[in-house]
Chains A and B, each alone.
Chain A
């Protein structure tokens, strides 16, 4: 979709934003040559390093090579940071098949598992209980169900008044501060941080601690030591918090899970620490980046920004949120699994003990599922088939909370500041290429 002939608005949004719109990002030409040289005599070929880099000037597009791989080599060989080889699986249907197949394990402590980073590898080998994101069924689902009641569709809907209250307060602060402000630190980060902290029962004044520690935990550049230190700090904080909640239970997730499941032997303190850490980190890093990057994507597509801002039908906003989730796929370094048996997927044999990386950013641009997949189209009818929340039994636990936050946050922000626009040139925006969750480090905006 090209955004020419923009309707001007009373506030001049379309005009001012159009000026900053970059030239269309060229999508990669399909690659015909196989990625890896045929296996001939001589030294083993060096597999390309995953994650691949995004093309310069295309901050919203997955690495350009993925399109060619999807077309010509849907199962290719790559290696991760420590040289561990893995199959890179780029097609939508193959990813769905693998993520819903119990012969693939999410247990990152298995030998040969293609881990995300030195820090994550160190955490997984630390001897601490594994958080449930890296456990397999049936144990995984047993643990997951201790938390699921807090993240149902009904619970998310019941939070709407409180979410609106938090959103309005933050927008008031932004307005008072006056342009330009950094959208990330004033709005995108505090909203989900406050929300997940309230659900868990983490005091507001301790937000800074978990925000700074989790930034270390999700950076792919953090060393094993830095990661372990951040994990120990956050872990000891959460351990103390659990103890306090057991003594004096409140109406919050940590109190209730501690009383209902820890004191009854269903989980241990050490495991609850890890699971609470997972919820705390997953609960704010992701939504934060969706708010900021999604707002930037809309500012680059003024007609669609206007449609979200002026939508009267909540279903239209819900559809826009699904499309932004698909288009941006911020959890951009692939789901990781390991085959526990020999498995054949679409004619490709994956042997027991081999790792697989499912690049959901690639699946979400698969033209066999999504028409014109490289276009942002907030009216796309099947956007919600996206794999941005993963697929299978590990599909995002917080998805309904995230949807609810995003469905309220974008329109509220755009209505409060109808002339919202970036306050810096595109070149000055720093993207999170080095984090497990993609986004922008800061986003100065004016209105």
Chain B
């Protein structure tokens, strides 16, 4: 799984953290998305990462298999 995030676009809505808090987090200072260091890489994680990308209001997440 390959995930790209675009921190400039992110509007800190937190949808990604709700969908997959083992993959995404929000920076303390401004709530902007960050990727966690060790993200699970399996079918379930992929599905949740894709769900996060679909929910993200800012189109800031791109997930590739």
Contacts and interface: CB of A to CB of B under 8 A. Distances in A.
Contacts, number: 67
A122 to B, nearest CB: 28
A110 interface: no
B27 to A, nearest CB: 8
Given A100-B59, A149-B31, A399 B13 contact: yes
Contacts of A412: none
Contact of A148 (B12, B25, B55): B12
Nearest to A155: B31
Contact of B26 (A152, A384, A392): A152
Contacts of A389: 13
A445 to B, nearest CB: 31
A132 to B, nearest CB: 10
Contact of A392 (B15, B27, B58): B58
A379 interface: no
Contacts of A395: 11, 13, 15, 57-58
Interface string A377-403: 000000011000111111111011001
Given A141-B11, A148-B31, A400-B14, A153 B26 contact: yes
A27 interface: no
A27 to B, nearest CB: 28
Interface string B15-37: 10110010001111111100000
A192 B44 CA distance: 36
A100 B54 CA distance: 12
Nearest to A396: B13
B57 A145 contact: no
Contacts of A153: 14, 17-18, 21, 26
Contact of B31 (A99, A151, A392, A394): A151
B15, B21, B57, most chain A CB atoms within 10 A: B57
Contacts of B28: 149, 152, 154
A152 B55 contact: no
Contacts of B9: 393
Nearest to B19: A384
A144 interface: yes
Contact of A384 (B17, B29, B55): B55
Interface in A58-108: 99-100
A315 to B, nearest CB: 11
Given A384-B55, A392-B57, A152 B29 contact: no
A99 B17 CA distance: 21
Interface residues of A, number: 25
A153 B59 CA distance: 18
Contacts of B21: 153
A391 B57 contact: yes
Contacts of B31: 145, 148-149, 151-152
Interface string A140-160: 010011001101111000000
A16 B48 CA distance: 41
Nearest to B29: A149
Nearest to B16: A153
Contacts of A397: 12-13
Given A148-B31, A149-B29, A149-B30, A393 B11 contact: yes
Given A152-B31, A400-B18, A145 B12 contact: yes
Interface in A338-390: 384-385, 389-390
Contacts of B59: 100
Given A153-B21, A384-B55, A144 B13 contact: no
Contacts of B55: 384-385
A145 B54 CA distance: 22
B10 to A, nearest CB: 8
A393 B30 CA distance: 15
Which 8 A-B pairs have CB atoms at the shortest separation, nearest pair first? Answer: A148-B31, A148-B12, A395-B57, A152-B31, A153-B17, A153-B14, A152-B26, A145-B30
20 contacts: A100-B58, A145-B12, A145-B30, A148-B11, A149-B12, A149-B30, A151-B31, A152-B12, A152-B26, A154-B26, A392-B57, A392-B58, A393-B9, A393-B58, A395-B15, A395-B57, A395-B58, A397-B12, A399-B13, A400-B18
Interface of A: 99-100, 141, 144-145, 148-149, 151-154, 384-385, 389-397, 399-400, 403
